[in-house]
Amino acid sequence: MSTGALLRRATRGSTALRGGRVRRLTPYQVFGLLFWLLMTLAYWRVPPCCEAGLHAAAVARLRAGLTDTAVSPYVLAQGALARLTGLTGWQLLRVGGPLNLLVLLTGLGRLVRVLTPRPWAPVLALAFLSLLWGTRPAWGGGSLALLPLTGSLGYPSAFALGLTLWAWALTGARARDLRRVRYVGPSGLRSLSGYAALGLLYGTVALIDPVTGVGAAAGAVAFVAGWQRGWRAAVWGRWALMCAVAAAAPAFGTHARVPPPSVFGAYGPYAGSGGLGELAGLTGQCWLALLGLPALWLRARRAGGSAPRGSVGPPAWRDPLVLLFALGCLVLVCGRLVGLLGLVLLAPQCALAVELAAERPWPGWRGVLGWAAAGGVCVGFLAAQAGAVVPRSVDPVGFAQPPRWPSYDWAARHIGPGEPVVTDAYYAVRLLPGYGIDLADGHDHRPRVRWLLLTRQERLPAEAVVVDWSRRTGEVLARLTRTGDASPVPLVTRSVTR
Q: What are the mean pLDDT values of the chain's consecutive 10-residue runs (498 residues total)?
A: 46 50 85 95 90 88 74 88 90 93 96 94 95 84 85 92 95 79 61 90 92 92 89 88 90 53 34 48 83 92 64 63 92 79 91 92 90 94 90 84 90 84 88 86 62 87 86 88 50 39
How far apart are alpha carbons 433 and 420 in whole angstroms?
A: 10
pLDDT at 128: 95
pLDDT at 260: 35
Cross-strand partners of 56: none
pLDDT at 316: 54
Cα distance between the two ends of the chain: 96
Give pTM, 2 decimals: 0.84
How far apart are alpha carbons 102 and 37 in whole angstroms?
A: 10
pLDDT at 306: 59
pLDDT at 459: 86
Name the nearest CA neighbour of 427 among 21, 45, 8, 49: 49
Phi-psi sector, 355: left (phi>0), alpha (psi -120 to 50), beta: alpha
User: Of all residues in the chain, what percent are helix, strand and coil, respectively (each to 5)?
Assistant: 60, 5, 35
Name the nearest CA neighbour of 384 among 126, 135, 127: 135
SS3 265: coil
pLDDT at 488: 43
pLDDT at 443: 57
**Environment class of residue 125 by beta-carbon count within 10 Å: exposed (0-12), middle (13-18) or buried (19+)?**
buried
